[in-house]
Structure 1
Amino acid sequence: MGWNLLLLLSVFCLLNRSAFGGVARKKHERRLVGLPGGTAANAALPPDQWLIQRLDHSDPTNPGTWWQRYQTNDAWFKNARNSPVFLMIGGEGEASAEWLVNGAAWTIYAQKFGALCFQLEHRFYGESQPRSDLSVESLKFLSSEQALADIAYFIQSMNEKYRLSANNRWVVFGGSYSGSLAAWARLKYPHLVHAAVSTSGPLLAEANFKSYDEVVKRALAASSPKCAANVHKAALAVEDLLKTPHGPSVLSKKFNLCTELDVSNKKDVSNFAESLAGNFQGVVQYNRDNRMADPKPPSVDDLCKLMTDGDEPKLIDRYAAVNRLLTNGTCLDVKYHSYIEEMRSESYDVTAGGRPWLYQTCTEFGFYQTSSSRNEIFGSLFNLQFFIDQCKDIFDQSFDQNRLNDGIRRSNNNYGALGIAVSNVVFVQGSLDPWHVLGVTKSTNPSAPAILIDGTAHCANMYPPAPDDLPQLTAARAKIEQILGEWLSSVEPWTRSNGTAPR
């Protein structure tokens, strides 16, 4: 089913998953990474806590408030004059308290430095619900800017609650979209945020995100020289079969579609092709991460083995075998109308964050992983207009390309895109992660270093260490710890004088 934006995950790398829900809900959850391993089954999880948050930080005349969820772990807090405070920023889904207990990389840093730990859930996701529904009228209060202001207000509130001083320095963490928020929080609120670890964060907003599949292609080719070529040939074979009289019926059976494919409905066809591409995109993005899952999800090598050494003689049948593996034998619903109707629901519990995240992509970021040429690995069947039509069909006709372009321009102007001028931020990316091309991977600024981890996936460094971790992943985690130690022991230049905090 269409709309593979973050596949995560994105977007947010730290989210719980559900086995329930319809097409849109399952589509969004496929983008989300599972829980970290390393947590004991009987471990006590921090309870949910609630903060009265402002509804609209940009309008001082708006008295509206709401309850924002957060969690706390003070097990390692030394409560000393200079003990740091760590904040894990929530992204486009429910925030799980399991990321606050021993195991995840940031908790290891917290133990090292004696930090007080918080996790703050993002507005309009999980249980943090500023309004009673997800109508367009409600979603006007959803933006990265409002989320950053929530973070600032939260920090000020916790400083008061725990009687923290300027010596108790705040370090923010995040992965994927929340990795972007971590960097932007330091950019926008340097007087509150001392440092940030920005993992797998896309900083460049872009509508037509074609380079995503270029990374996917390289990752498949790295596994097997024939793999990427065979995937491309299979995608083109699907396109060619669609043009034949019996092709749609044949494809419907091969790929176990819930209903026979209607080739007269171009959006159903686009949805179908994009869903098949999503099988490979998601596996590449999260290849061999240390999520808590039994059994472990398929790897790039597993898919490439099917595409190169599978039992099926025809490439299109191998393509179908990959689909069977990823769908666990359930039928694939590619009806565009079904997806749109589900995403139109204004209830919080229908799409598991899918509707609000789509709203953010339609108004701020784009990030659409298009494929519009037969020269591209997944063929020509889902172009940019297919995704813009989703914005229009789900919200209203005013959510067109002009609104998208304006929102992207505003985001890049507001945050600086890849030219972000910031200090005390370490940018961490994985070379196999398609999102790294929208993030900072090289830096000549020693106060904002970049770490590109060869051979790792989306948010891999945030997971608990494992015995079979690549040496470069282990080294990256150690480097982050070293950088944090240096920043926590340093003095902000602007604190020595009456100057203004730098941006």
Structure 2
Amino acid sequence: MQLKQYAVVFIALLFGLETTIAIPRFRAVEVLSSRSLSSIDDTKPLPTTSDVQELYFTQYLDHFQHQDTRTWQQRYFYSDRYVRKYDDDSVKETRRQAKMEADAAEYTFLCVGGEGPPLDASVLIDSVHCSGDMLYTAQYLHETWNVNIHLYALEHRFYGTSQPFSDNYYYTNDKLRYLSSDQALHDAAYFLQQQMPNATVVTFGASYPGYLSALLRLKFPHLVSAAVSSSAPVQATLNMISYNDAVGANLQNEQLGGSSACYDVFVEGHAQLNHLVLQPDYHGLLATEFQLCDVDSLLETKNVQLFLGDGVIQWDVQGNDPACTDEFCNIAKVCDVLVSRAVQGAEWSALAWLSRTMRLQSSRESDCIVLDWNETLHQLSQPDEDWRSWLWQTCTEVGYYQTCLPDTKCPYGRGWHPLEQDLEICRVAFNITNVGDNVDATNNRYGGYDMSATRVLSVTGTEDPWTTLAFRPEHPPPNHQPFHSVPGASHHYWTHPPKGTDDIHIQRARQVILEQVMNWLGFDMKRKEDSAVATER
């Protein structure tokens, strides 16, 4: 029996893109000193999940219709790893001394959940979500200042196991109407209000959760003392042409391992494929080279959009890791093999080889790829499909549609991913026709580039395709709020678990976050260092 892989149109999953099918690929701060992180012992083994509790909280279904008293169980994780346990008088005395040095002894750090990857106990141990920022900062403050840091991670409604409805059809349109960023923000606010009403809270998040982290401070400053917002696309955008333009620029960026020759292989190869798909005599060759199940699928324009519109190679370009070890895991490795295999005038064959090889090495068990737009729409309309949650949010709130249009720098099949492709999904899957109005309403509600929150640190990577929608030097946050641009960095790479291969800019980003949080919480770094010097004497 022939196994088939359905090609599903890419519609902008933000976070880390750890997906198994072709679902959507969504004032600079002065660095003071590198000494303040040096006391953290990186040689210590990672904590285990044994100190992380998986818990549930009774949450309201609708925060805006007060007559609706229905509730559901929202999942969260908690760890007291950085809360001191006092066993003897000497430890208590140490605690009393530390309390005199700090304005407050107890702090709560909240990792804000989002659209993916799904949360599990590792979120408070070693994950892409909040490791390099929240956990690293908590460890330093606990070990250096002897204060207590309570660690929380709250899952977003309609993702993971935080499902407001108990049947198997979580994602019907009538249920998804309770899914919005505003409901999620009120979920977090109610959680904080009920669980820790008097706590000093700092929120952390990256990508869409980074957006939510900033918005929690904006909307609930009485509950959230400060926020760290990494790689957050704060400006909702219907037609995100800039995403693939940035991908094209990255493929040419020699600091990332790209080159003009690599970019040319992508552009010329897709242009050649554009020519070949318009000639039915070549469809058999293309079906063989790209392992398509049905040669006749290329006769349909919308199927060709699936084939070329987001590129014939499926890879995590926004999660570029210079130190990764897999064969085709970053821009440098992909570019090296493409440039070495490309033949001038037939660059498309190098793309075909890489596509076949990457599929062979992946976990996909399919023998061939189905290009079927109608089947794609059918799959996206099924009420038990969990990817509908984020699609719903793109249609009702943020857009973020990564088109590939003529006369752009998109390195894929230019003209084969029009905006209409995404809008048709909204119409067919959700009966939503006013996507542009919804995007405008989101920016009006939260402010977009004019978001007026205070005590929010925005951190973005210069080579992240999402940076064009984030606060950056060209679009700094209002109110003179701090932001930090990380040279050479991809999508919130500094929130990933620290590694020995992290370059100086990633390390510096974590330092910036630490120092800014300490400043907001009232820690006096110089006084601490002076005290350490006096002790040494």
TM-score (norm 1): 0.85
Give the SS at the match of 1:340.
helix
Structure-2 change in CA distance of 1:210 and 1:60 (3 Å): same
User: Offset of 1:239 from its aligned partner?
Assistant: 0.7
Query: What's 1:181 paired with?
Result: 212
Give the SS at the match of 1:455.
coil
User: Which amino acid counterpart does residue 66 of structure 2 have in structure 1?
Assistant: P
| CA displacement 1:366-402 (0-9 Å, x = unmatched) | 1111112165432111100011111112222xx12xx
Please say if residues 227 and 455 of structure 2, whose CA atoms lie closer than 8 Å, have aligned partners that are also in contact.
yes
Please say if residues 276 and 323 of structure 1, whose CA atoms lie closer than 8 Å, have aligned partners that are also in contact.
no
| CA displacement 1:92-145 (0-9 Å, x = unmatched) | 132122120267222121122331010000000110001232110000000000
Quick check: which has more Rg, 1 or 2?
Answer: 2
Matches within 5 A, 1:150-299: 150-159=187-196, 165=198, 168-222=199-253, 223-276=258-311, 279=314, 282-288=315-321, 295=326, 298-299=329-330
User: Which amino acid counterpart does residue 126 of structure 1 have in structure 2?
Assistant: G
1:440 matches 2:440: no
User: Offset of 1:297 from its aligned partner?
Assistant: 5.7
Q: Which one of 91, 101, 112 corresponds to residue 114 of structure 2?
A: 91
Please say if residues 51 and 70 of structure 1, whose CA atoms lie closer than 8 Å, have aligned partners that are also in contact.
yes
User: Offset of 1:278 from its aligned partner?
Assistant: 6.2
Please say if residues 45 and 101 of structure 1, whose CA atoms lie closer than 8 Å, have aligned partners that are also in contact.
no
Please say if residues 74 and 117 of structure 1, whose CA atoms lie closer than 8 Å, have aligned partners that are also in contact.
yes
User: Which amino acid counterpart does residue 115 of structure 1 have in structure 2?
Assistant: I
Which structure 1 segments of 5+ residues have no match? Answer: 20-25, 32-37, 492-503
Deviates more, 1:472-481 or 1:299-308: 299-308
1:110 matches 2:134: no
Matches within 5 A, 1:466-481: 466-481=499-514
Query: What's 1:70 paired with?
Result: 76
| CA displacement 1:215-258 (0-9 Å, x = unmatched) | 10110011112111221111111110011131222211111123
Query: What's 1:496 paired with?
Result: none
Give the SS at the match of 2:50.
coil
TM-score (norm 2): 0.80
User: Offset of 1:288 from its aligned partner?
Assistant: 0.2
| Whole-Å separation in 2 of the counterparts to 1:264 and 1:28 | 23
1:449 matches 2:482: yes
Give the SS at the match of 2:358.
helix
Structure-2 change in CA distance of 1:473 and 1:51 (3 Å): same
Structure-2 change in CA distance of 1:370 and 1:39 (3 Å): farther
Structure-2 change in CA distance of 1:366 and 1:277 (3 Å): farther
Please say if residues 462 and 488 of structure 2, whose CA atoms lie closer than 8 Å, have aligned partners that are also in contact.
yes
Give the SS at the match of 2:188.
helix
User: Offset of 1:355 from its aligned partner?
Assistant: 0.6
User: Which amino acid counterpart does residue 54 of structure 1 have in structure 2?
Assistant: Y
| CA displacement 1:59-108 (0-9 Å, x = unmatched) | 11111111000000111025975421000011113212212026722212
Give the SS at the match of 1:130.
coil
Identical-residue share of aligned pairs (%)? 28
User: Offset of 1:51 from its aligned partner?
Assistant: 0.4
Query: What's 1:3 paired with?
Result: 9
State the aligned residue count: 456
Deviates more, 1:179-188 or 1:151-160: 151-160
Give the SS at the match of 1:172.
strand
Q: Which one of 343, 360, 374 corresponds to residue 337 of structure 1?
A: 374
Please say if residues 283 and 300 of structure 1, whose CA atoms lie closer than 8 Å, have aligned partners that are also in contact.
no
Give the SS at the match of 1:464.
coil
Please say if residues 46 and 125 of structure 2, whose CA atoms lie closer than 8 Å, have aligned partners that are also in contact.
no
| CA displacement 1:334-388 (0-9 Å, x = unmatched) | 22223222222212xx4xx411100100110111111121654321111000111
Give the SS at the match of 1:84.
strand
Deviates more, 1:370-379 or 1:217-226: 370-379
Query: What's 2:353 paired with?
Result: 321
User: Which amino acid counterpart does residue 240 of structure 2 have in structure 1?
Assistant: F
Matches within 5 A, 1:374-385: 375-376=408-409, 377-378=411-412, 379-385=414-420
